[in-house]
Amino acid sequence: MHLKTRILDSRLGNEFPLPAYATEGSAGLDLRAMLDEPLTLEPGQTQLLPTGLAIHLEDAGYAAMILPRSGLGHKHGIVLGNLVGLIDSDYQGQLMVSCWNRGNTTFTVEPGERIAQLVIVPVLQAKLDIVDSFDETDRGEGGFGSSGRS
Ligand SMILES: O=c1ccn([C@H]2C[C@H](O)[C@@H](COP(=O)(O)OP(=O)(O)OP(=O)(O)O)O2)c(=O)[nH]1
Ligand SMILES: [Mg+2]
């Protein structure tokens, strides 16, 4: 697909590469922290970081999700303050990343560092048909471990 993208920080495409799929099979485009100086995140701290990019998906049949990078999340505890970021198809503002240090050690984000990834996903907008009851299923209202653990 084609994605209308605005570059809001001129260092992107010059000093720092534009987002690109790293391999033919990559699902995510890495997003960079467009900081002016290194940012220290103490354990437990969360900061909203600019990416220098805006996208306009235009089509309600798509959304984008901002997801953590597995290496940063697993090794350094750097994940997202909102766990997952959901980008609406009509959003035109700068993509922002809520960066949360859920770990026990201080982490410094360097300017231009890849801090999260953007994944484009298909979306169905549902029309709600209001009913009084549902056709019976085996599960019914059972959930949250109702089927046991093993
Ligand atoms: O990690 C994120 C999450 C959201 N957004 C932007 C794009 C999205 O379309 C918009 C609104 O996000 P969401 O609907 O999740 O937030 P909200 O708290 O419901 O705000 P709003 O009232 O603006 O919808 O904020 C980001 O830039 N980064
Ligand atoms: Mg919202």
What would the pLDDT profile of 62-104 be if each residue is shown by its tens digit? Answer: 999 999 999 999 999 999 999 999 999 999 999 999 999 999 9
Rounded to the nearest integer, the mean pLDDT of the chain is 97
- Three-class HEC string of 17-49: CCCCECCCCCCCEEEECCCCCCEEECCCCEEEE
Looking from the CA of residue 85, the nearest atom of ligand 1 is 1
The alpha carbon of 91 and the centre of ligand 2 are apart by a number of angstroms equal to 10
Say how far apart CA 21 and CA 18 lie, in whole Å. 10
What is the value of pTM for the model shown? 0.96
Q: Which residues are annotated as a binding site for substrate?
A: 69-71, 82, 86-88
120 lines ligand 1 (CB under 6 A): no
Q: What are phi and psi of 29, to 5 degrees?
A: -105, 125
Looking from the CA of residue 94, the nearest atom of ligand 1 is 27
Task: Show the tokens assigned to 3.
Answer: 């994605």
Does domain 4-122 fall into CATH 2.40.50.140? no
Is 23 in contact with 89 (CB distance < 8 Å)? no
- The pLDDT confidence band at residue 147, using thresholds 50, 70 and 90, is very high
Q: For the chain, how many residues are written?
A: 150
Q: ipTM value of the model?
A: 0.98
Sign of the CA dihedral with 20 first, then 11, 114, and 101 last: negative
What would the pLDDT profile of 15-27 be if each residue is shown by its tens digit? Answer: 999 999 999 999 9
What would the pLDDT profile of 110-132 be if each residue is shown by its tens digit? Answer: 999 999 999 999 999 999 999 99
